[in-house]
Structure 1
Amino acid sequence: MKPRIANPIALAPEQVKAMMALENSFAATGLDPVLLELVRLRVSQINHCAFCIHMHTGLLRKDGQSEMRLYMLDAWRESSLYTPRERAALGWAEALTRLSETHAPDADYEDFAFEFSEAEQVQLTFAIGAINTWNRVQVGFRAAHPVSAEDRARVAA
């Protein structure tokens, strides 16, 4: 896949600065960083953003998350590897990412509201919006994820 624009991030420094300020603000919310990364990865899976899937998978690995939790994220509803809080966040993230299909159903919101305070609900909803924005920039301009030399050789063979 060939990128449509070589480095779109470099062409919008003020917007990237604003997005990074938003991203950095999540550290002060008290939300679990692993929960935030799981949400970012799940949203990126839904949006088919290879660049972001690569990045957030790597961050979760560095944070000590098991390979099985990473593999099963796409089927989290059928897996026992996620806490009730993670499940509520993932359900809400899916509902908002697929908004035109789901219309943010009350059942998903009720699960979300049971696990999170109102402030956390708003903060996590902003995080979901932010990763959707990053996904749209990266997918829209066909950003290429890093590829190891081993994988590059395998593909070329």
Structure 2
Amino acid sequence: MDPRITNPAGLLPDAVKAVNLLYRAGHSAGVPDTVLELVHLRASQINGCAPCVDAGARAMRKTGETDDRMFTVAVWRETPYFTEPERAALALAEAATRMADTPDAVPDAVWADAAKHFTEEQLAAIVLWIATTNFFNRINVTTRQQAPQTWA
């Protein structure tokens, strides 16, 4: 499958500025990078965004993430590899990504569990990061962006 257009953000320079601001904001609240990478990877898997899944796995590898965790994000509930805060963030990422799948898009129980592990500012950053990931997923899937062909 060929991309429909080249990188849309590259075609619109103001978009790059906005994306950089979102990135900085999402990483400014003290949420561990591993949590942000996990929610990015999980939302990207759900949305079928090949370049984001690829980029997420590469980023996780750079932070020293283990293969056990990288390869089992899609089945995080059935593995022992994730901490309670990470599980809460993953549940929030799934709920916020699958909003159309249920009338109660982000159930109170999911939010309450995340709130047990993260401050209000950290929750804001996680929600922003999930939304930013979904933003990229929708652009990449719509324009059929491809993952790189080789791993460095």
Same fold (TM over 0.5): yes
Give the % identical residues.
Answer: 40
Flag structure 2 segments of 5+ consecutive residues without an equivalent: none
Q: Deviations over 1:49-101 (max 9, x none)?
A: 00000011011011111111011110001111000000000000100000111
CA distance in 2 between counterparts of 1:107 and 1:13 reads 40
List aligned pairs for 1:39-78, cutoff 5 A: 39-78=39-78
Report the counterpart of residue 19 of structure 1 in structure 2: 19
Flag structure 1 segments of 5+ consecutive residues without an equivalent: 150-157
Q: Residue 83 of structure 1 aligns to which amino acid in structure 2? A: T
What value does the CA root-mean-square deviation take over the aligned residues? 1.3
Q: How far off its partner does 1:111 sit?
A: 0.9
TM-score (normalised: structure 2): 0.93
CA distance in 1 between counterparts of 2:138 and 2:12 reads 14
Q: Residue 130 of structure 2 aligns to which amino acid in structure 1? A: I
CA distance in 2 between counterparts of 1:14 and 1:51 reads 21
TM-score (normalised: structure 1): 0.90
Which secondary structure state, in structure 2, belongs to the residue aligned with residue 80 of structure 1? Answer: coil
1:139 aligns with 2:133: no
List aligned pairs for 1:5-154, cutoff 5 A: 5-102=5-102, 103-148=105-150
Structure 1 or 2, whichever has the larger Rg, is: 1
Q: How far off its partner does 1:16 sit?
A: 2.1
Runs ≥4 residues deviating over 6 A = none
User: How many pairs does the alignment contain?
Assistant: 149
Which secondary structure state, in structure 1, belongs to the residue aligned with residue 27 of structure 2? Answer: helix
Q: Residue 23 of structure 2 aligns to which amino acid in structure 1? A: E
Aligned residues of 2:27 and 2:125 also touching (Cα < 8 A): no
Q: How far off its partner does 1:26 sit?
A: 2.7
